[in-house]
Amino acid sequence: MQTKHLDALFQHLSVLVVDDNAYMRKMVRSLLINIGVKTIHEAGDGLAGLDVIREVSPAAVILDWEMPLLNGMEFVRIVRSPGVFPLPDIPIIMLSAHGNRKRIVEAVRAGVNEFLTKPVSAKALADRLLSIVAQPRAIVQIGDYYGPEPRKVGAEDIVS
């Protein structure tokens, strides 16, 4: 994608960062600003994050896994509840310090669009944001699963 088009895309993007660690929110905010995102909302826990989604309808969510009150996985399960939550299709990037395969598979099975491991680079964040807003996978319901269409490789891991 051309740089001008990419800049325009990110400039008009609204992103919600949900993390209980204020320093991490600041770091992610800085990365987002560096790639051109101008509208950034923050929430210090999952419950506040759900409220922000309802209030401002961001284009994407960057979500921490481990938080008090409502952790990242519980947050995803609530959001990915069509008929219960008002924006079940919102793209979600899970950002976690724990990047083992078991966690990644669990997050994907819950319906996250992308998974990034901390510490994250501006390029990795930009690439994942681009993939979920410029080339989104269709949202599907397969049995109890509701979320982005599973990728062809390893799809049986997701919906089995």
pLDDT at 115: 95
Question: In order along the chain (160 residues), what is the average pLDDT of each group of 10 residues?
Answer: 67 95 97 95 97 97 94 96 95 92 92 94 94 91 92 52
Q: Are strands 14-18 and 39-43 parallel, antiparallel or unpaired?
A: parallel
pLDDT at 159: 47
Contact of 46 with 71, CB cutoff 8 Å:
yes
pLDDT at 102: 92
Cis peptide before 119 (omega within 30 of 0): yes
CATH topology of domain 3-159: Rossmann fold (3.40.50)
H-run or E-run covering 51: helix 46-56
- Domain coordinates of the chain in residue numbers? 3-159
CB atoms within 10 A of CB 84: 9
pTM of the predicted model as reported, rounded to 2 decimal places: 0.91
pLDDT at 5: 63
